[in-house]
Amino acid sequence: MNWKETIQAIEKSVKDKFSREATGHDWHHIDRVRKNALIIAEKEGGDLIITELAALLHDIDDHKFNGGDWEAGTRKAKQILEEHQVPEQASIHICQIIGKVSFKGANVLSVPDSIEGKSVQDADRLDAIGAIGIARAFAYGGNKNRMIYDPTEEIVLHESREDYFNAGSHTINHFYEKLLLLKDTMNTPTGKQMAASRHAFMEQFLKQFYDEWDTK
Ligand code: ADP
Ligand code: NI
């Protein structure tokens, strides 16, 4: 089999599926995660084919967030890999990665075992911080009809993803319950390094945001 053609074909099917999404889980998110995962895996010595396929498929069913069915993404990925004749050993590894990266239940940290998985998870987290992460958070909040900020509401640290998905907090709250914590959850030295400037930018953003809010 020809890996380049296989990757291109899988890329096309993912792109078709995600082109209609506008909630922060669009094709461009997948594409950025793929690029950053490859940068990280290359520096960390991971297999680039496994990394690229896992990144392309990491959110395949997650964007529906369907009633806590955490395995839907893995099932769908397995089916796509089979359709494209990806050898079973590679498919098993890729699905293990997707299971770990897309599992977000009950605030349990789920860390992939392999370098490839760690690279994809780091790249996914990088896309939730920095300028892009800020844009995605406000896009998500707007989509849920949330206020950008409400100074009368105390910051609440929701315990789990389900809680902060369903809670009605303003979007600035999400920085404290998740975005500012992500840099310390990076798996790889390369990922940590890439997270640093994005994290600093969010701190700068919040400072400027409050300064403008309080302009007398
Ligand atoms: P991913 O699957 O890409 O890791 P999520 O599905 O958890 O990320 O969230 C998608 C995007 O929406 C992320 O950028 C995340 O920060 C943002 N998001 C999730 N929950 C909230 C929330 N309560 N308020 C604002 N943004 C949120
Ligand atoms: Ni993602």
The answer to whether 33 and 58 have CB atoms below 8 angstroms apart is yes
**pTM recorded for the entire structure:** 0.92
Q: How far out from the chain centre does Cα 75 lie? A: 19
Q: Domain tally for the chain?
A: 1
CATH number of the domain that residue 187 is part of = 1.10.3210.50
Only one residue has tokens 């796509």, namely: 80
Alpha carbons within 13 A on the beta-carbon side of 39: 16
The preferred substitution site among 174, 181, 182, 206 for testing ligand 1, maximizing ligand atoms within 8 Å of CB, is 174
Burial tier of 80 (Cβ tally within 10 Å: 0-12, 13-18, 19+): buried
Determine the residue type at 45. G
What is the 42 CA–ligand 1 centroid distance (Å)? 27
Sequential pLDDT tens for the chain (216 residues)? 799 999 999 999 999 888 776 655 789 999 999 999 999 999 999 999 999 999 999 998 764 555 556 677 788 999 999 999 999 999 999 999 999 987 665 556 788 999 999 999 999 999 999 999 999 999 999 999 999 999 998 888 876 766 766 776 899 999 999 999 999 999 999 999 999 999 999 999 999 999 999 987
The answer to whether 91 and 66 have CB atoms below 8 angstroms apart is no
Give the span between the Cα atoms of 128 and 76, in whole angstroms: 24
What residues line ligand 1, using a CB cutoff of 6 Å? Answer: 24-25, 59, 62, 124, 128, 133, 136-137, 140-141, 164-165, 171, 174
Buried b (16+ CB within 10 A) or exposed e, 165-183: eeeebbbbbbbebbbeebb
Residues spanned by the domain of 77: 3-213
